[in-house]
Amino acid sequence: MGIGTLAERFGLAAHVLRHWEAMGLLTPARDAAGRRRYGLADLTRVAIIVRAKEAGLSLDTIRSLVATADPAGRRDILREEAEALRSRIAAARASLGMIECALGCDHEDFPQCAHFQQLVAARIGTDAAVRLPV
């Protein structure tokens, strides 16, 4: 199939497939006129790339995964990604907690909340609550 057909099948722009090819993620065959021709292996590879992107993996990480023939090497890459994702999830949970605390605060303006001021003080490394300018 041609690039337009493949791109449409996955809801992608053709330039995305060209970019992935430039990054070494795809290597489509060429016809006599030099046009890209995608086969079943390319279709499978695009599905893998799309799914990996949905999982939050970068194109560089995806390239490393598909370039690594060693299953143990792939698992190592995935372990690193899992740890990075755990860190991002922990940071997002902490952020959500702070936002929910601010939304649930009885103070009219959350910077006046003693709990919020303690969080700020901990962040800047002081023991005393910090009065924030309003």
pLDDT tens for 64-118 read: 999 899 999 999 999 999 999 999 999 999 889 888 888 888 878 878 888 778 8
Specify whether the CB–CB gap between 82 and 39 falls below 8 A.
no
Is 40 part of a structural domain of the chain?
yes
Parent domain of 62:
3-67
What CATH number does residue 45 fall under? 1.10.1660.10
pLDDT tens for 22-68 read: 999 999 999 999 999 999 999 999 999 999 999 999 999 999 999 89
Nearest to 120 by CA among 112, 130, 110: 130
Nearest to 1 by CA among 24, 20, 26, 29: 29
Is 115 part of a structural domain of the chain?
no
